[in-house]
Amino acid sequence: MKPRAFTLIEMLLSVSVMAILTGIMVPIFLSFQTRNDVDIASLALVRSIRRAEQLSRNGEGDSAWGVNLLSGEIAVFKGSTYTGRDAAYDEIFSIPNNISFTGTSSMAFSQLYGWPSASSTINLTSVNNETRTININSKGSVNY
């Protein structure tokens, strides 16, 4: 008996099935990745807001602290405004570049009380229009 090998038709059929499965799975994976990027960015933003609020309440560095949103990063800064900050104390957190911010781009928290300079709403949007909204009320409570 002669050993049997794969025929050309079997090989083409296998490659076709793999191509179809790959074509189906890639968009699903990219959609999942985009949602994950938005979730990561929103959690990083909430963590940064809470950090600035806590540093302000503790009177760390005898100053107010704030958060500023930049393209691809979130900055926790020492001072009442980002332009008047002490850059030596900046804490920078990177986020995925496919996330954009709308709404308030900078906020500071009062020293000792930790109240924000104003109530704020920040929207995070991905390139696929996946969005998250973060609200900060006048007492500093963060809802997301």
Q: What is the mean pLDDT of residues 82-110?
A: 94
Per-domain boundaries in the chain: 11-143
Percent of the chain with pLDDT strictly greater than 70? 98
Percent of the chain with pLDDT strictly greater than 90? 81
pTM for this entry: 0.82
pLDDT at 30: 87
Q: Is the pLDDT of residue 5 over 80?
A: no
Classified by CATH at the fold level, domain 11-143 comes out as minor pseudopilin epsh fold (3.55.40)
Helix, strand, coil percentages in the chain from 3-state DSSP, rounded to 5: 40, 30, 35
